[in-house]
């Protein structure tokens, strides 16, 4: 029975890593679609959301099946609970990638408009957090998970700075308010991606240590 449980958990691990890799790639493509004003690339992200949704459903069903068949305890139970929660965060990140890509259509209609926000730095930070959170899961690396939690404040700070810059740009260029709004919304989506990456890292901390670290300030990291 124990051997079968470990086999099922190993298969579950491969599935959550595959979903994480897919989501990570979609975020990268979504950001690139904004940077290049590439509608075709944006459409690929939007059309691919069905695949992420299906994998999320399949992964949840796999977790529930393992819980029902094996009634795991201790470390195994914590791992499955963590995967269930990460699964939801990964699906939401996929949705946010779609939201970012969806902004490309409006932004691409204004090729003469220079992007006034340094949101590519913010995008790089959010993507790095996602990559690290997934690496911390694969390698069961507690220190790396803590690093992700600490980085969240940096992305939040960048988003707040962009909010002030956005208000200034709208006052200076009221005729460009539509693309500016779309660009500002991209920064909000990136902030939410960073938040979900932090959730994943906190779940890794729980999985490894049994400690719940949600709602704690950066001083705990």
Question: Tens digits of per-residue pLDDT, 119-128?
Answer: 788 999 999 9
Mean pLDDT to the nearest integer, 41-57: 96
Q: Which residues does 87 contact at the CB level (< 8 Å), separation at least 6? A: 16, 19, 56, 59, 60, 63
Arithmetic mean of pLDDT, 102-115: 81
**Domain interval for residue 57:** 2-220
Give the pTM.
0.90
Residue 10 has pLDDT above 80, yes or no: yes
User: pLDDT over 90 for what percent of the chain?
Assistant: 63
Q: What is the number of alpha carbons within 13 Å of residue 114 lying toward its C-beta?
A: 3
Instruction: Give the whole-angstrom CA distance, residue 187 versus residue 50.
Output: 24
Q: For the domain that residue 114 is a member of, what is the CATH number?
A: 1.20.58.220
DSSP secondary-structure letter at 37?
T
Mean pLDDT of 42-70: 95
pLDDT given at position 166: 83
Q: Distance (Å, rounded) from C-alpha 154 to C-alpha 183?
A: 19
pLDDT score for 180: 86
Instruction: Check whether 217 has a pLDDT greater than 60.
Output: no
How confident is the model at residue 219, as a pLDDT? Answer: 47
Nearest to 189 by CA among 217, 155, 221: 155
Please determine, for residue 215, whether its predicted confidence score (pLDDT) is greater than 70: no
Closest to 193 (Cα-Cα) out of 131, 142, 104: 131
Overall domain count for the chain: 1
Within its chain, how far is the Cα of 97 from the centroid?
8
Residue 42: per-residue pLDDT = 96
With 70 as the cut, is the pLDDT of residue 62 above it? yes
Integer Cα distance of 107 and 119 in angstroms: 14
């Amino acid at each position: 029975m124990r051997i079968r449980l470990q086999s099922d958990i190993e298969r579950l691990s491969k599935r959550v890593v595959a979903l994480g890799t897919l989501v990570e790639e979609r975020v990268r493509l979504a950001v690139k679609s904004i940077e290049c004003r590439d509608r075709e690339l944006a459409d690929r992200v939007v059309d691919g959301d069905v695949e992420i949704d299906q994998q999320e459903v399949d992964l949840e069903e796999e977790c529930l099946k393992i819980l029902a068949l094996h009634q795991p305890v201790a470390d195994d139970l914590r791992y499955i609970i963590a995967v269930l929660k990460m699964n939801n965060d990964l699906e939401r990140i996929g949705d946010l990638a779609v939201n970012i890509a969806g902004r490309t259509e409006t932004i691409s209609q204004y090729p003469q408009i220079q992007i006034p926000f340094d949101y590519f730095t913010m995008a790089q930070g959010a993507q790095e957090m996602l990559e690290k959170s997934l690496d911390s899961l694969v390698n069961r690396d507690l220190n790396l998970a803590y690093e992700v939690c600490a980085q969240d404040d940096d992305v939040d700070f960048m988003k707040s700075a962009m909010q002030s810059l956005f208000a200034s740009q709208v006052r200076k260029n009221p005729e460009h308010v539509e693309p500016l709004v779309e660009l500002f919304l991209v920064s909000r989506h990136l902030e939410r991606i960073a938040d979900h990456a932090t959730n994943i890292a906190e779940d890794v901390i729980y999985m490894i240590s049994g400690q719940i670290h949600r709602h704690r300030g950066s001083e705990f990291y």
